[in-house]
């Protein structure tokens, strides 16, 4: 399975290698690499500040502020008849741009700030996995199912690239692109037909590039997060397998040190990713239940598809994260009850005291070093319940809004 993870990361790196982000994966060394050269980061800086920031998030944020200003003037949220920018599709476009492009900008900044903490720790996890597999596993050939899994997952970046032109053209045709809000307030007589067509063409190109770059950043960080969580849990299980042959207290301590070191960055990005994914899933659920007669079928099907994919990925990640405490607690319980410790003398007593001092592994989510919630099974159930209840609450709010309008 470790080779499967490496193959997926290599496929992602081969697609996006021309536009490096602050943290990249090197397929040759099978390690993460932090890009510190400013010249190499110029494309990423341009995409964050101009493409995703100024020309995507900026206009949609102004549109949101405009709608909130109208709400304050009218005393209620404006209807589509009162203002065309309050239409349901306009609200969906605001949410999509703020989530995708805004999330891409925040994630890129997070990678640049925290690369000194993240890269060495994840590389240590990879190196430890390679060492343990060389010590324990002699035959680790990929199976046919793993090859099919790799061939399926490696197409995720291609899906983002292929659906970009369709989404961009549809958004431009419906006036949902970010720059349409700016162009709307400038009369065509002032702009002229040629300038207006150039502005629309620039908006199409910018929106397409924003979709590609935001997909690159969000997919990359998602891959790295899933990769690190699964591989660290895999290391814990390998340490447990090795402990049945000889003492592995030092290896367990190494896993504990790595998890403690990576916790601030992991906890911060986890809470940010969970909030963004929750908003995206709720939005996709609302589109699925309310806009089946508004969107064309090919675009409408994207909402339930991404809702299912994001929910599946989050449940898998939280499930693996919740297994740390259970697996490590069971392993320590078995170590402490090991019958060999009862007959050991001298160093055996010292070894028993070291095992008694070990504590189960537990990942957290929070803000840097302020841990808020432990990642366990309760969090997984509460997260799914929160998404379901929030979806119902928003649907009831929209229904009351429509009744008030009618």
- The tens digit of pLDDT for each residue in 89-101 reads 888 888 888 888 8
Residues, the chain: 406
Distance CA(68)–CA(247), nearest Å, equals 63
Residue carrying the six token digits 């609450």: 393
Strands (E), 170-327: none
Residue 73: Cβ-neighbour burial (10 angstroms; 0-12, 13-18, 19+)? exposed
Distance CA(118)–CA(302), nearest Å, equals 33
pLDDT, average across residues 319-342: 76
The confidence score (pLDDT) of residue 157 equals 72
The confidence score (pLDDT) of residue 267 equals 85
Least confident of 123-127, 129-133, 206-210: 129-133
Look over the chain and give the mean of its residue pLDDT values, rounded to a whole number: 81
CB-facing half-sphere around the CA of 296: CA atoms within 13 A: 8
The confidence score (pLDDT) of residue 133 equals 78
pLDDT at 155 over 60: yes
Confidence of residue 57 (pLDDT cuts 50, 70, 90): very high
Give percent above pLDDT 90 in the chain: 6
Distance CA(362)–CA(326), nearest Å, equals 9
Sequence ranges of the domains in the chain: 2-405
Distance CA(125)–CA(132), nearest Å, equals 11
CA distances from 73 to 67, 77, 81, 162 (A): 10, 9, 16, 42
Cα 381 to chain center, whole Å? 19
- The tens digit of pLDDT for each residue in 288-329 reads 888 777 777 767 787 888 888 888 888 888 888 888 888 888
pLDDT at 70 over 70: yes
Q: Shortest CA distance to 44 belongs to which of 99, 91, 90, 110?
A: 110
Distance CA(122)–CA(227), nearest Å, equals 9
Distance CA(119)–CA(41), nearest Å, equals 17
The confidence score (pLDDT) of residue 184 equals 87
This prediction's pTM: 0.80
3-state SS class at 272: helix
Strands (E), 289-400: 364-367, 370-374
Backbone dihedral region for residue 222 (phi beyond 0: left; psi -120 to 50: alpha; all else: beta): alpha
pLDDT, average across residues 151-167: 74
pLDDT at 357 over 80: no
Token pair of 175 as six digits: 């006036």
The sign one gets for the Cα dihedral 322, 324, 328, 331 is positive
Question: How many Cβ atoms are within 10 Å of 326's Cβ, its own excluded?
Answer: 13
Q: Return the bridge partners of 34, or none.
A: 23
Distance CA(16)–CA(255), nearest Å, equals 31
Confidence of residue 65 (pLDDT cuts 50, 70, 90): very high
pLDDT at 385 over 70: yes
pLDDT, average across residues 162-181: 86
Distance CA(131)–CA(125), nearest Å, equals 10
H/E segment holding residue 49: none
The residues, ordered by sequence, that sit 6+ positions from 347 with a Cβ below 8 Å of its Cβ are none
Distance CA(36)–CA(379), nearest Å, equals 37
Distance CA(29)–CA(118), nearest Å, equals 17
Q: Shortest CA distance to 230 belongs to which of 135, 336, 153?
A: 153
CA distances from 283 to 46, 68, 97, 217, 327 (A): 29, 19, 12, 21, 35
Confidence of residue 164 (pLDDT cuts 50, 70, 90): confident
Q: Could you tell me which residue, 108 or 240, shows the higher pLDDT?
A: 108
Question: How many Cβ atoms are within 10 Å of 213's Cβ, its own excluded?
Answer: 26
Cα 65 to chain center, whole Å? 27
Distance CA(181)–CA(169), nearest Å, equals 16
Distance CA(313)–CA(327), nearest Å, equals 21
pLDDT, average across residues 43-48: 87
The sign one gets for the Cα dihedral 168, 173, 175, 180 is positive
Confidence of residue 145 (pLDDT cuts 50, 70, 90): low
Confidence of residue 138 (pLDDT cuts 50, 70, 90): very low
């Amino acid at each position: 399975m470790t080779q499967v993870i490496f193959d997926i990361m290599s496929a992602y790196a081969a697609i996006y290698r021309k536009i490096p982000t602050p943290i990249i994966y090197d397929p040759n060394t099978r390690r993460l690499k932090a890009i510190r050269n400013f010249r190499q980061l110029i494309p990423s800086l341009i995409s964050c500040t101009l493409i995703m920031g100024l020309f995507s998030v900026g206009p949609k944020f102004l549109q949101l502020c405009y709608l909130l200003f109208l709400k304050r003037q009218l005393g209620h949220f404006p209807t589509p008849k009162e203002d065309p920018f309050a239409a349901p599709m306009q609200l969906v476009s605001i949410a999509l741009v703020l989530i995708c492009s805004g999330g891409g900008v925040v994630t890129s900044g997070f990678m640049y700030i925290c690369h000194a903490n993240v890269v060495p720790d994840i590389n240590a996890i990879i190196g430890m996995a390679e060492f343990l597999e060389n010590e324990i596993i002699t035959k680790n050939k990929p199976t046919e199912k793993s090859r099919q899994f790799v061939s399926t997952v490696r197409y995720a970046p291609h899906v983002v690239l292929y659906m970009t032109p369709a989404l961009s053209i549809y958004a431009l045709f419906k006036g949902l692109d970010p720059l349409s809000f700016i162009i709307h307030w400038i009369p065509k007589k002032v702009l002229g037909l040629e300038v207006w067509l150039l502005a629309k063409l620039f908006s199409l190109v910018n929106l397409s590039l924003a979709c590609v770059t935001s997909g690159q950043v969000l997919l990359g960080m998602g891959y790295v997060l899933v990769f690190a969580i699964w591989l660290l849990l895999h290391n814990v299980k390998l340490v447990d397998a090795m402990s049945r042959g000889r003492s592995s207290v030092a290896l367990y301590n190494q896993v504990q040190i790595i998890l403690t070191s990576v916790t601030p960055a992991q906890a911060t990005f986890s809470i940010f990713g969970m909030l963004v994914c929750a908003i995206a899933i709720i939005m996709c659920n609302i589109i699925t239940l309310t806009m089946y007669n508004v969107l064309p079928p090919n675009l409408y099907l994207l909402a339930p598809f991404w809702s299912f994919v994001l929910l599946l990925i989050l449940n898998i990640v939280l499930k693996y994260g919740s297994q740390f405490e259970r697996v490590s607690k069971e392993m320590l319980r078995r170590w402490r009850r090991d019958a060999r410790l009862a007959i050991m003398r001298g160093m055996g007593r010292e070894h028993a005291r070291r095992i008694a001092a070990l504590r189960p592994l537990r990942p957290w989510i929070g803000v840097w070093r302020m841990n808020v919630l432990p990642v366990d099974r309760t969090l997984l159930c509460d997260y799914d319940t929160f998404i379901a209840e929030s979806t119902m609450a928003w649907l009831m709010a929209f229904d009351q809004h429509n009744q008030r309008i009618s």
